[in-house]
Amino acid sequence: MSVVSYEQLRTELVPCVLHEPPDGYVPVPVTERLAQAIWFDQRLKRDGLQTADGRRVRVVSPGWWNLEAGPDFHRAVIAFDDARPQLGDVEVHLHSADWQQHGHTSDRLYDNVILHVALWRRGEQPVMTATGRALPQLVMADQLDAPLDQLYDSIDPENYPYDLDSHVGACESPLKSASPETIAALLEDAGLARLRTKARRLTRWIQRAGIEQALYTAVLEALGFKHNKEPMRRLAKQLPVTRLRELPAVQAQALLMGVAGFLPERTVAGRDEATRRYVKRLWDVWWKARDEFAGVTLSRDEWRLAGLRPANFPWRRLAAVAQLLAEHWELWPKIADALVSQPASKRAARLTALLTDLEDPYWSQRFSFASKPQSKAELLIGAARARDIVVNVLLPAAVAQGRLLEQPVLVEAAENIFAAHPSLESNALVRFTAHRLFGQRVPPRLLRTAVRQQGLLQVFHDFCLNDRSACQRCRFLELAGQFAAKQATL
């Protein structure tokens, strides 16, 4: 019996492990991550850099390391020949042929790539995006600033992207001299600015469609999380909340699932009895309503399911919304009640519980129409997502509505809850921005509140996201300096 080692399996299964470089070079276990680190650190002969077809390349910024689906680097700034620098994504591979082999030619996530970088050339196929745009290609092997084995020895890919002090922003060093109190106050102020910006957006929605439609749209959008925001928004538009007015949950589910394109065939042979009964109940409602939505129903293909935890599948989210509407047909009075009628210490928990308490006889135990019932019920909206919706939707909506109704007590209550709310689950953007601003020395306990996390995100959106100069023309430090001076006079 042959013994298979982890190392062997890794070599077979992990696409980024290289077995044999193409030109007889002494093999080192080069991985795609090493190639990415070489690009990130620009360990290249930067003065004479060229694309495979001979165009001059000037890299103003290699971009931000992306740890999620899509291209390896976002927001790179690159100039070709004498043209103005362009902003876009960069994808890095070991071989030039990997672009096709990894299926990027038909993947819309790669539409914004402006440069394909490969460590080695293999094959001569043109590199095209899904929109048919030909991409310039840069082969690094013959343009490295040191032999590959030296780079291999000096770069530890495990340190990337956040464990190094390189790649911090230009503001990191000056910010070290600011006191922790000043930084905390600055982030809290920025966080409050973010809350008010969100409130302004919701004010427009409320003015246009009323508070209940605005809340319904914003909650659906938040439940779409990153990848399904757009179809959730469209669903809210095609199936307005008034159409669901006072319907029992199962009828609201039938309409939501029907318009979303999630209803399975009427006959679900082979499924268990509970599923057959449930699907029949949905169809009893949907077949009478579907003509009303002809031409506006979404197709299942418009939803992105890859990479989602089964508990977060969008049909479970829709079941939750149906329950929310069935239990609290008018959501705003419940929010207003939680803001002012509850003891201050219970307000945030009451808002969160509006979402976490939702249950459904079918969906609390299931992940899909095809799955078996789980032995243990799973929350339709988990606590982390619920807190996220409180901070990013319900509190901004309360600020907006409080202003529109000229009820400062509501605005004050919402802002107070926001200011005291414990931190939300961290995410890649928070970690990225914290690293850019504070390097490896994020002040202890700095990000323990949601308002400061939100403040950090506001700095990202206001400054890092708008910067095309690799920090050189960013004015965040100026703002931080003025803020610190003002603080000192208080």
The CB-of-473 to ligand SF4 minimum distance in angstroms stands at: 9
Q: Where are the beta strands (DSSP E) in 85-136?
A: 86-95, 113-120
**Neighbouring C-beta atoms of residue 382, cutoff 10 Å:** 16
Separation CA 384–CA 138 (nearest Å): 42
Contacting residues toward ligand SF4, per CB under 6 A: 169-171, 436-437, 459, 463-464, 467, 471, 474, 476
The CB-of-462 to ligand SF4 minimum distance in angstroms stands at: 8
Separation CA 279–CA 144 (nearest Å): 60
**Contact (Cβ atoms closer than 8 angstroms) between residue 362 and residue 319:** yes
The CB-of-175 to ligand SF4 minimum distance in angstroms stands at: 8
The CB-of-164 to ligand SF4 minimum distance in angstroms stands at: 15
Nearest residue to ligand SF4, scored by beta-carbon proximity: 169
Give Cα 57 distance to the centre of its chain.
31
Shorter beta-carbon distance to ligand SF4: residue 373 or 481: 481
The CB-of-437 to ligand SF4 minimum distance in angstroms stands at: 6
In the three-class reduction of DSSP (H, G, I as helix; E, B as strand; rest coil), residue 267 is classed as coil
Shorter beta-carbon distance to ligand SF4: residue 144 or 479: 479
Give Cα 326 distance to the centre of its chain.
30
Shorter beta-carbon distance to ligand SF4: residue 171 or 186: 171
In the three-class reduction of DSSP (H, G, I as helix; E, B as strand; rest coil), residue 246 is classed as coil
Kindly state the tokens that stand for 299: 């197709």
Shorter beta-carbon distance to ligand SF4: residue 218 or 459: 459
Shorter beta-carbon distance to ligand SF4: residue 180 or 333: 180
Angle 13-14-15 from CA coordinates, rounded to 5°: 105
Q: Where are the beta strands (DSSP E) in 290-415?
A: none
The CB-of-470 to ligand SF4 minimum distance in angstroms stands at: 8
The CB-of-3 to ligand SF4 minimum distance in angstroms stands at: 49
Shorter beta-carbon distance to ligand SF4: residue 332 or 460: 460
Shorter beta-carbon distance to ligand SF4: residue 106 or 466: 466
Separation CA 28–CA 393 (nearest Å): 51
Angle 388-390-394 from CA coordinates, rounded to 5°: 135
